[in-house]
């Protein structure tokens, strides 16, 4: 292992894994990414998501925000219109304007974010190994041995730090908890499933004008579930829509629901809802396009995000329910903050015969958890509260929910969202200064 550089393996080459690799690459590090997918994705996958201003600021720290915003799918969502299932207006929810926060909340394909990051991973010639998944670790005073399978072959390497960025089904998490001598937490199904797709606006009779760049997103609450509708592209030619509702648990294979079954269930569930929900379902069924199905899993709040030489970030540390619109933004915040702390650690420590100082490293990882977990827990709690609103309700329960939302939205000010959207990861603007110094 001795190279004089801080050796890091990142388990997971998704959004958070690629982001932290890019942050760390200019430092005194050797970074290797292990990604379980067989190869780089070449077509859109993963559906639409909301990237909030706080997440966009992290991408800006990598000088990538402008590249993402150049893509066709990025539509700004400063406000969300909330309707009931009969088509009535409940209110408008401020959701992060560019004027207030520097960047606006943006509806974008998950694939676009990942693709922008991977383009830069390749541009910077970072070492990413596909079809590679961690299966065991052994921690010692002078390093951690990471064992993985790569293209079916066993591999191992002794490094200074393992960063687990491999999602809710993390392989790094069980190894870390076993090193700590603790029982391994397991993901559990939340009782909610999301289904959605993207369709041409022209395929929906009468839809023109329902959405616009001034009203780009409408979310609809009803007794049977929830439906979101948003412009997909800046030209206004496509619309993305998704539903979240209760569903019985199934095996992983059974979650690969046949299209016919999924559409039949949605038609029955939303038959009595006002325009455009039944029309969106019909247009999606007629199009034959890919249907995204994602059961919502959750994991208990972890007591440990790190050991001496392993640290978890993103959904590996705190599976973020999708109901807050903060999942990717929180993963990016994790990447930006951990990179900032490791930058400080490497600035004050150096390689010796005993390697890098493990006590200071463990202290750095503890600072990361202490700095991130309260904020993340607050957002997870709010996401769970919003998720409960998407479950089936009685008529009285739905009436109460609707009028509570009406009152809140009537009084709500944009400043109420400053805690979420106005947050900046410590040191995030310093990376631009570093890039400027390196280029001169």
Predicted confidence (pLDDT) at residue 171 exceeds the cutoff of 70: yes
**Which one-letter DSSP state was computed for residue 427?**
T
pLDDT at 3: 66
Highest mean pLDDT among 147-161, 229-243, 289-303, 340-354: 147-161
Please give the structure tokens belonging to residue 239: 């619309």
Mean pLDDT, range 269-285, rounded to an integer: 94
**How far, CA to CA in Å, does 118 sit from each of 20, 21, 429?**
12, 10, 22
What tokens were used for 45?
């996958």
Residue 426 has pLDDT above 80, yes or no: yes
| Other CB atoms within 10 Å distance of the CB of residue 18 | 28
- DSSP structural state of residue 137: E
**How far, in Å, are 99, 138, 142, 374 from residue 159 at the CA level?**
44, 11, 9, 30
Pairing of strands 29-35, 6-11: parallel
- pLDDT at position 293 over 80: yes
Q: What is the DSSP letter of 174?
A: H
The overall longest dimension of the chain from CA atoms, in Å, is 72
- The DSSP letter of residue 352 is B
Closest CA relative to residue 431, chosen from 5, 17, 20: 20
Query: What pLDDT, on a 0 to 100 scale, did the predictor assign at position 349?
Result: 82
- Assign 239 a pLDDT band (cuts: 50, 70, 90): very high
Which residue would you say has higher pLDDT here, 292 or 123?
Answer: 123
Cα–Cα dist 304/306, whole Å: 5
- Give percent above pLDDT 90 in the chain: 77
Cα–Cα distance, 236 to 220 (Å, whole number): 20
The strand pair at 238-246 and 225-231 is best described as: antiparallel
Q: What is the pLDDT of residues 300-359, one digit of tens each?
A: 999 999 999 999 999 999 998 888 999 999 999 999 999 999 999 999 887 665 668 899
**What pLDDT score was predicted for residue 434?**
82
Over residues 64-68, the mean pLDDT reads 96
pLDDT digits (tens, 9 = 90+) for 29-46: 999 999 999 999 877 666
pLDDT at 260: 84
Q: Crossing angle for the helix pair 15-24 and 53-61, nearest 10 degrees?
A: 40
Other beta carbons within 10 Å of 407? 11
Mean pLDDT score across all residues of the chain: 92
What's the pLDDT score for residue 208?
Answer: 81
């Amino acid at each position: 292992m001795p190279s004089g550089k801080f050796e890091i393996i990142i388990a997971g080459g998704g959004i958070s894994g690629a982001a932290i690799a890019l942050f760390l690459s200019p430092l005194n590090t050797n970074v290797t990414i292990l990604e379980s997918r067989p190869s780089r994705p070449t077509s859109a996958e993963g559906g639409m998501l909301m990237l909030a201003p706080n997440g966009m600021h992290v991408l800006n720290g990598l000088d990538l925000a402008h590249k993402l915003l150049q893509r066709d799918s990025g539509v700004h969502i400063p406000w969300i219109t909330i309707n009931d299932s009969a088509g009535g207006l409940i209110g408008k929810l401020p959701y992060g304007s560019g004027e207030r926060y520097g960047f606006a909340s943006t509806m974008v394909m998950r694939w676009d974010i990942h693709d922008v990051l991977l383009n830069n991973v390749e541009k910077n010639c970072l070492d990413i190994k596909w079809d590679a998944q961690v299966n065991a670790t052994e921690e010692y005073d002078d390093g951690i041995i990471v064992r993985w399978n790569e293209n079916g072959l066993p591999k191992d390497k002794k490094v200074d730090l393992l960063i687990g960025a491999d999602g809710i089904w993390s392989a790094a998490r069980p190894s870390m908890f076993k090193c700590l001598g603790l029982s391994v937490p397991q993901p559990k199904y939340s009782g909610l499933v999301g289904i959605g797709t993207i369709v041409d606006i022209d395929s929906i009779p009468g839809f023109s004008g329902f959405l616009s760049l001034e009203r780009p997103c409408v979310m609809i609450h009803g007794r049977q579930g929830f439906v979101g509708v948003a412009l997909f592209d800046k030209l206004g030619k496509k619309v993305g829509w998704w539903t979240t509702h209760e569903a019985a648990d199934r095996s992983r294979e059974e979650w690969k629901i046949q299209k016919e079954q999924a559409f039949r269930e949605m038609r029955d569930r939303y038959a009595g809802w006002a325009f455009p929900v039944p029309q969106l379902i019909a247009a999606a069924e007629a199009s034959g396009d890919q249907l995204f199905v994602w059961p919502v899993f959750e994991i208990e709040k972890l007591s440990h995000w790190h050991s001496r030489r392993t640290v978890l970030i993103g959904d590996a540390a705190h599976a973020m329910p999708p109901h807050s619109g903060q999942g990717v933004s929180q993963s990016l915040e994790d990447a930006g903050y951990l990179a900032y702390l490791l930058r400080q650690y490497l600035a004050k420590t150096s390689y010796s015969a005993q390697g890098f100082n493990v006590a200071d490293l463990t202290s750095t990882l503890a600072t990361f958890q202490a700095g991130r977990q309260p904020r993340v827990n607050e957002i997870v709690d709010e996401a769970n509260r919003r998720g409960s609103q998407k479950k089936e309700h009685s008529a009285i329960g739905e009436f109460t929910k609707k009028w509570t939302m009406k009152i809140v939205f009537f009084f709500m000010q944009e400043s109420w969202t400053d805690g979420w959207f106005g947050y900046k990861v410590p040191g995030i603007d310093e990376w631009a200064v570093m890039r400027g110094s390196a280029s001169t």
